[in-house]
């Protein structure tokens, strides 16, 4: 399940996930985000979510989808909070793919919510 909040002052959307996350649930949240008016900055917080149902193949599928839709956020940033090892590893895979390709926004993975938000809001 995802709870989404938008902070218009910072052009920031926060997706706070909880419970047993499914691939379809994650796809639905991301598709809804891009169908609306996506913000330049996004924070995806998996601190309270169990992601043991998310596969490596799905991370690749998700990357491909976000790469296509993400041009609406050209020059933006996405911070991912994943304190658990499995989630951190999957999110790092996504980050590494986005670092080595023509990706429209920067992605970084953190274990701490405060560090993630600080990176998102820091001035270049």
Distance of alpha carbon 46 from alpha carbon 72, whole angstroms:
23
All domains in the chain, ordered by first residue: 2-121 (3.30.750.24)
Alpha carbon 99 to chain centroid, angstroms: 14
Q: How far is CA 102 from CA 57, 69, 70, 99, in A?
A: 20, 13, 11, 8
Q: Which segments of the chain does DSSP mark as H helices, in order?
A: 23-35, 56-69, 85-99, 113-121
Nearest to 43 by CA among 124, 93, 123, 115: 115
Give first-to-last CA distance, the chain, whole Å: 33
pLDDT per residue as tens, the chain (124 positions): 899 999 999 999 999 999 999 999 999 999 999 998 899 999 999 999 999 999 999 999 999 999 999 999 999 999 999 999 999 999 999 999 999 878 999 999 999 999 999 999 997 6
pLDDT at position 102 is 84
């Amino acid at each position: 399940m995802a709870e989404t909040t938008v902070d218009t002052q910072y052009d920031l959307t926060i997706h706070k996930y909880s419970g047993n996350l499914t691939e379809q649930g994650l796809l639905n949240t991301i598709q809804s985000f891009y169908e609306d008016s996506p913000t330049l900055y996004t924070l995806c917080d998996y601190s309270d979510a169990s992601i043991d149902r998310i596969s490596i193949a799905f991370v690749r599928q998700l990357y491909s989808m976000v790469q296509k839709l993400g041009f609406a956020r050209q020059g933006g940033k996405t911070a991912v909070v994943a304190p658990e090892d499995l989630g951190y590893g999957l999110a790092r895979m996504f980050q590494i793919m986005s670092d080595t390709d023509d990706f429209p926004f920067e992605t970084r993975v953190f274990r701490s919510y405060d560090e993630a938000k600080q990176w998102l809001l820091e001035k270049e």
